[in-house]
Structure 1
């Protein structure tokens, strides 16, 4: 099916570029407190290029959201599929498309919904897998899902990080080594899960896409060409260089047995600690200056590291940014 409907009307973007987006947003059409028009204005104000409408178990608001898209803001149609034993995001579905939701893990029905979304070109994301409320914890296997929401902003008061996010990140990180080995690793994404004023974009996902269209954004997320930021004031890049080749986040680097120089450039996080992670866990860390801007380098080989990713944390350990891996072969 085409994704050329109202969900991306007028969006043009900057061609191939990094785009910032929040793929978990609720309005008054489910259990949010703000109208879609207000959320769209707030998304622009905090520097987002795209958002996804993910009302709980309904597509009734798609016709309201679609016309709000414009040349500078893409709106993806979606749904938060709120089952009895876990929630998942159906992103990039057709306007008006509804995904079945009234089941639990024992009913063995989730696969049907996942197939429906993927067959139409959409993306399936496990939402807040360790959320601290009934039905919030994700009790299903990740089989058939395209990505995991390791950073969810809803239940955070002062800073966009908490123990539930820490648990989700640790679980995802532990599975990453096996996923890279088999070539079936699932990317991490981060979203605000906006319900209230002031939440949108805290955090959000920054994705490398060929253009600002639903298909291109979903392709970038599916491939893991993305990283997560607590706000648009945070920026980073991560590259790996070996044998005259360069790779970035979500890409594969053929090292031909030569050493790999990994470089991280970080901006907007004063006195942060940047840590490098591989299939051996955390392998290196260094602090940024008070300006919050710095370049860090670390050297490895594909024999020692199957992949490399980074985390950027504030002085007291709260996350400011994290990346998907660069895979080394």
Structure 2
């Protein structure tokens, strides 16, 4: 790593074939024919007997950028239509390197994934916690670990649930903060959460970007400068929230990690070394340089008062619009060629802004890609 670059962290069973009927609190009950590893002696507020689980690491995969969808549902969730094997096949077809399985308020499918992971797909165990006043994702759970969901914002129980996940080494993500349905709007403070899902593909009928995502992005962006100046910022991530065929990976998060393993992927997300892509067709590289020093997404560049140049290279967004955003708002905007490939630059300074980030939109205005910030000092 070049001198002057500082990595800044944002926040310092028994297998049976049966018909499963699941009540998910504020969600309607659902049933599905499902070949799952159903743990016995389940404890809905703690841990069940540990089921068979997928490996936490794919051997032989070192440092690099990995594409992952961290919000995925199978038939065991309300509205889910795909089996785990169908989801695994769809993830591979979408060009993903990893997924996180996040059923609503249950981890009963954890044991179904051991045989579906492989040297080309990492499966991270998780859960979507659907409380009365907002949903959140627990990523990196132990096999069979269940996080309680039976509370609302008035009960003052969210902190203990988040702490439970953190004690297990997991990651906590505020999910779809402005989802337009009962219990979907996230009413808790982001304090204590590791990341915010600003882009959720589930609720857009025609495009994986809508007004709810726009509101979530604006809310996250408004607080970014304050959070960075106070040494505690939360990265943005994007997920498909896939329930139906054709949804997985739209969008997904591209993470810089030391390897294709659970701990490394979650560490990359936690540190903000990531960007969000509409699909695997979108490619992006974003760096900041000053003199002989440079930094990438989620890193801090010490400029020593020198002018800095932000450079982004993009492929896969024909006639798209690229915007460089700082504390001053959108400071520079430029259009990509019709073939969708281009390299653009913008001058920034630590005196004017503590960060710079990128948004890439299609001509109609919906998002194609966005990055977490690079920090300046």
Instruction: Give the TM-score, by structure 2 length.
Output: 0.85
CA RMSD of aligned residues (A): 1.0
- 2:296 maps to 1:296: no
Confirm or deny: 8 A CA contact 1:236 1:266 kept in the other structure: yes
Q: Note the C-alpha offset of 1:96.
A: 0.3
Give the distance between the partners of 2:351 and 2:86, measured in 1 at CA: 51
What are structure 2's unaligned runs of at least 5 residues?
A: 1-51
- Match for 2:141 among 71, 86, 93? 93
Q: Note the C-alpha offset of 1:300.
A: 1.5
Confirm or deny: 8 A CA contact 1:24 1:52 kept in the other structure: yes
Confirm or deny: 8 A CA contact 2:57 2:262 kept in the other structure: no
Give the distance between the partners of 1:7 and 1:150, measured in 2 at CA: 28
Give the distance between the partners of 2:230 and 2:285, measured in 1 at CA: 26
Most deviating of 17-26 and 152-161: 152-161
- Match for 2:71 among 18, 21, 24? 24
Q: Note the C-alpha offset of 1:7.
A: 3.3
SS in 2 for 1:96: coil
Question: 1:11: which partner in 2?
Answer: 58
Give the distance between the partners of 2:216 and 2:56, measured in 1 at CA: 34
Q: After superposition, where does 1:197-216 map in structure 2 within 5 Å?
A: 197-216=245-264
Give the distance between the partners of 1:228 and 1:101, measured in 2 at CA: 28
Confirm or deny: 8 A CA contact 1:15 1:210 kept in the other structure: yes
Confirm or deny: 8 A CA contact 1:9 1:70 kept in the other structure: no
Confirm or deny: 8 A CA contact 1:252 1:328 kept in the other structure: yes
What are structure 1's unaligned runs of at least 5 residues?
A: none
Give the distance between the partners of 1:315 and 1:210, measured in 2 at CA: 35
Q: Note the C-alpha offset of 1:67.
A: 2.7
Q: Number of paired residues? A: 325
Over 2 Å off, 4+ runs: 5-10
Instruction: Give the TM-score, by structure 1 length.
Output: 0.97
CA gap of 1:10–1:146, structure 2 versus 1, over 3 A, is: closer
SS in 1 for 2:114: helix
Question: 1:232: which partner in 2?
Answer: 280
Question: 1:145: which partner in 2?
Answer: 193
Q: Cα deviations across residues 110-159 of structure 1 (Å, max 9, x unaligned)?
A: 10110011111100000000000000000001111000000000011221
Q: Cα deviations across residues 222-272 of structure 1 (Å, max 9, x unaligned)?
A: 000000000000010110001311100000000010000110000000000
Q: Note the C-alpha offset of 1:9.
A: 5.3
Most deviating of 20-29 and 8-17: 8-17
Pick the structure with greater CA Rg: 2
Question: 2:361: which partner in 1?
Answer: 313
Between Structure 1 and Structure 2, which shows a larger proportion of helix residues? Answer: 1
Give the distance between the partners of 1:322 and 1:49, measured in 2 at CA: 19
Give the distance between the partners of 1:10 and 1:127, measured in 2 at CA: 25
